[in-house]
Every structure is written in C-alpha cells, then in structure tokens.
Amino acid sequence: MPYLNHNIPPFSAYIRDEYLYNHTKGEGDFSFCDVHTVNCMERRTILFECLFTNGVNWTRRPIHAFCWKKDAPRYPLNIHTYWDCFSSYVNVCKRNRLANMRAELVDWHGEKRKGTYMFTIDFGWEDKAAMLDTNFSEDPEHKCAHMFRMDDGNFFAYPNNRIIWYDDAFMEERLTGNPGYLIDQNFYTVENTREDSMTDDSYFTQWERTEPEQFNVDDQKPIGAVSKKNKDEVIL
C-alpha cells in the first residue's frame, strides 16, 4: 500500500495564487495547473501536488487552494473536506459504479451543494509489524474521501455519510432526511469460529459428514442442532 503519496487521475484546475506566496500576495490571481498526486499525512488535511505551465511542480497544496472556475465562492477548509487523513497509508480508486455520478454533499451546517464524482481516497495501516496502529483507518469509525468537482467551481472531498447520490435509472426514493442508520461497530471474521474442526496439510482436507448446528448470527454460538429424524425440527 503506498505510503504518503499516491497518483490520482490527473485533472486541470486553477490554483489561487496566494497559496504560492505564503498568503502575502496573489489574492484574486490564479495560475493554471494539472493536479496529479495526493499527499496524505495522518491528522493533516488531504494535500495535492500540481504542475504549472511555467515548469514548476509544487507539492502539498490544500484542496481549497484549487478551483476550476475563477469566480468560484471561497469557503473555509472545513467546508471543502470533512476529515483529516486517517493514515499516511493511502489508496486511490475510481469507483466504476460511481463514475461521473452526480450527488448532493451535505456540509456540517446542513447545507447541500451539488457536484460530480471524480475518484476516492481511502486509508489503511500497512506496517503492522513495525509500527503500532493508533489511528482509525481500519476501525468501524473509518471514513474514506470521495473527490468531487462541484458545480460552483470548487473541489470537495466528502465521506459516504455526507453524500446523497443521483441515479435516475436506479434510485426510486432519494433521502430527504436522516434515515437513522447506525455505524456498524462489529468486526467480521470467520477465522477460529469452527471450534470442532482443524485443517491439515492435505490438498483436500479429509472430513466426515456431520449434521450442521444452527448459529446465532450475532454471537456465532450454537442455538440448537438439527434433528436427525426431522431436519426441519430444531432441538433446543
């Protein structure tokens, strides 16, 4: 898994020139560029690298430094993106099912803005042997960042739970309010759940047919065996 930097599908944009002069000048001026790489440092906002027409390549510019319309409204950084990076181990993927889809993004004030999906930035924890995992990149609270080209001329990066998608051929009743979904706090695994079974080094493990037990989906503890006389009957 790439560490710190990752290629992204490149896109053209303007950078607000004050981000080239340490905010000492350049406000109201713009420079054309190609944005080509994302930089992720844990507990920092998503940053981007871009190439200018004068031959300069500049790294680690924040998302609100960029726009695709010069008259795009200016917002605080926490409107453009919702979370800092969860890890320095980063993955970039363009979700085929979401490609070019439209959506409404809901900011932390509850205001909705429309945009078009570009790609997704996600996080993990690769070096488990050498470094203690102290972040939330592989926790149920994890968030990815879907990158959007907004109608107002800006770029946003938002998590799933702040996005309402459009698909005229698929979606029948789009959300108009909070549906009450809850974050799933479970970790799902099947390892070490077959207490009476052990594999060996055979290509095909030898086994004998046994009557299956029924399991409670929540805690995976047997709630009864299937009767040999009547397999529709459960012995409690």
- pLDDT at residue 236, as a whole number: 40
Does 189 score more than 70 pLDDT?
Answer: yes
- Which residues, including other chains, have CB under 8 Å from residue 7's CB and lie 6 or more apart? 36, 37, 92
From residue 223, how far is each of 167, 192, 227, 232 by CA, in Å? 42, 18, 13, 14
Average pLDDT of every residue of the chain:
85
Q: How confident is the model at residue 207 (pLDDT cuts 50, 70, 90)?
A: low
Average pLDDT over residues 111-140: 76
Q: 133 versus 83: which is more confidently predicted? A: 83
- pLDDT at residue 224, as a whole number: 47
Alpha-carbon gap, residue 169 to 57, rounded angstroms: 42
Q: 168 versus 125: which is more confidently predicted? A: 168
- pLDDT at residue 235, as a whole number: 41
- pLDDT at residue 228, as a whole number: 45
- pLDDT at residue 108, as a whole number: 94
Average pLDDT over residues 20-45: 96
Average pLDDT over residues 164-186: 89
Q: In the chain, what are the helix, strand and coil shares in percent, each to the nearest 5?
A: 5, 35, 55
- pLDDT at residue 214, as a whole number: 59
Does 47 score more than 60 pLDDT?
Answer: yes
- pLDDT at residue 225, as a whole number: 45
Q: 184 versus 30: which is more confidently predicted? A: 30
Q: One-letter amino acid identity for 40?
A: C
Does 115 score more than 60 pLDDT?
Answer: yes
Read off the tokens for 72: 């795009």
- Which residues, including other chains, have CB under 8 Å from residue 47's CB and lie 6 or more apart? 38, 39, 40, 41, 59, 60, 61, 62, 63
Q: How confident is the model at residue 226 (pLDDT cuts 50, 70, 90)?
A: very low
Q: What proportion of the chain, given as a percentage, has pLDDT over 70?
A: 76
- pLDDT at residue 61, as a whole number: 98
Does 209 score more than 70 pLDDT?
Answer: no
Partners of 148 in beta bridges:
117, 156
Average pLDDT over residues 166-175: 91
Q: 83 versus 156: which is more confidently predicted? A: 156
Does 213 score more than 90 pLDDT?
Answer: no
- Most trustworthy range by pLDDT among 137-151, 184-198, 203-217: 137-151
Does 121 score more than 80 pLDDT?
Answer: yes
